[in-house]
Structure 1
Amino acid sequence: MDMDAGKAAAGARDAAALPELRLGSLSRRSFLMGSALGLGALSLAGCADGLSLAEAEKLYGPLPNEKFPIPATDISKVNPKYFRRTVKYETKEAPGTIIVDPGNYYVYRIEDEGTATRYGANVGRAGFLWHGDAYVGRKGEWATWTPPKEMIQRQPEVAKYAGGMPGGLENPLGARTLYLYQDGKYTLYTIYASSDPESIGSGITSGCVGLLSQDMIDLYDRTPVKTKVVVLPA
């Protein structure tokens, strides 16, 4: 489907990648999504020293000025190796390119001079590890989520969202969403904001890629539409 298609159709497609939700909390752990993307000639050469506790608390602190104020991330539930940091990363991809490494639960934004910003991520579970090239076709802040018909049949309790679940802290798409396209068509796959710190470093989705809300906002703000996205094989 083309980028200029109506919002209702887009919402239905967004939901197609979300087969299960837990009633009540709408936990991201139950939010099974998908991701799309590709292969690149690159190698991780090393990483910067780990963050101090004070640095991590600042990095993942509350965001009270958001449309829906975001609380601080409970960093005690995140392995420190998944905290955002600048690392050495050799690649032929241009600065700004996003590279997803599902085998290691990382997302990289390529910077200048052989470095990248690295974010911890949740990724697709076994059997849902797509790889390939894509690009950011559109972006969304506090996007509306609409469950597909198949999900409503399995979980009648979500039928109340058939007309769309407005953006908010309980919305599965979170604070920010990057929608991935190929050849002018939406792939159904996204990079989204997760409020579930325990999901980082896990394969829990049907392919989509989740970053902590603070990390996703950082990536979103630095990613224009048409940015290339590469998902490596797991």
Structure 2
Amino acid sequence: MDRRQLIAGGAALALFGSSDAMAQAVAPSNIRPDFLPVEVPIRAGIAPNEIHVVPDSFMLFWTMPGARAMRYMVGVGRPGLYESGEFYVGAKKEWPSWTPTNSMIERNPAYAQWKDGMPGGPNNPLGARALYLFEPGRGDTFLRIHGTNAPNTIGSAVSNGCARLVNDQAVDLYNRVPMRSRVVLYPKTI
């Protein structure tokens, strides 16, 4: 870990006080070296086993015991589509299917071809793995933390509201996160 990664990770966290054939399709991502996951120190007192997304820094943290976290770089929702709040992982899916919401189809009529759903697979927008975000009393929010095979979208605000990681990193995160884990999506400030 270099000094810049250590500072960036610490600064961001300071803001808060399958089938075998499909599995083989998850190739290591061709992503910038500074966008690779890295273990970073975090402030003491932050509970382990939680996801924290800091959208202004395009960082997702999986907190661990001992004031440590895995930091992943992500893409987040476009302006007006990102939703901050506190959620929990209500479902996890490998190679999930994708069905665009009515509002997604209104924004992009080309999505209408998938109004009945797109099967999971390497070309699906949800990628190799997805964590489904729920809220008490609301249920499924239609927000996801999911994979993508478009590494050029990491570090930008381009999605319909979800946080995305490249597929191999989505698989790594998926394997770490149990059901009902707390997820905090912090507000955008810039």
Q: Which has the higher contact order (CA 8 A, sep 6+)?
A: 1
Larger Cα-atom Rg: 1
**In the TM superposition, what is the alpha-carbon distance from 1:158 to its structure 2 partner?**
4.5
- Percent of aligned pairs with the same residue? 36
Query: Please, which of 195, 202, 220 is the counterpart of residue 156 of structure 2?
Result: 202
Match of 2:129 in 1: 176
Aligned residues of 1:47 and 1:87 also touching (Cα < 8 A): no
Q: For residues 55-70 of structure 1, what are the structure 2 equivalents within 5 Å?
A: 66-67=22-23, 69-70=25-26
- The runs of 5 or more residues in structure 2 that have no matched partner are 7-19
Match of 1:87 in 2: 40
Query: Please, which of 167, 170, 183 is the counterpart of residue 213 of structure 1?
Result: 167
Q: Deviations over 1:76-110 (max 9, x none)?
A: xxx43221010011153321111101010010000
Match of 1:97 in 2: 50
Go from structure 1 to structure 2 and tell me whether the alpha carbon gap of 1:137 and 1:168 turns closer, same or farther (over 3 Å shift).
Answer: same
Query: Please, which of 82, 94, 111 is the counterpart of residue 64 of structure 2?
Result: 111
Q: For residues 43-54 of structure 1, what are the structure 2 equivalents within 5 Å?
A: none
> What is the CA RMSD across the aligned residues, in angstroms?
2.5
Instruction: Determine whether 1:131 maps to 2:87.
Output: no
Aligned residue type for 1:138: A
- The runs of 5 or more residues in structure 1 that have no matched partner are 1-45, 51-63
Counterpart secondary structure, 1:107: strand
Match of 1:34 in 2: none
Distance 2:74 2:130 in 1: 14
Aligned residues of 1:48 and 1:87 also touching (Cα < 8 A): no
How does the TM-score come out when normalised to structure 1?
0.66
Match of 1:38 in 2: none
Distance 2:187 2:109 in 1: 36
The number of aligned residues is: 173
Go from structure 1 to structure 2 and tell me whether the alpha carbon gap of 1:103 and 1:116 turns closer, same or farther (over 3 Å shift).
Answer: same
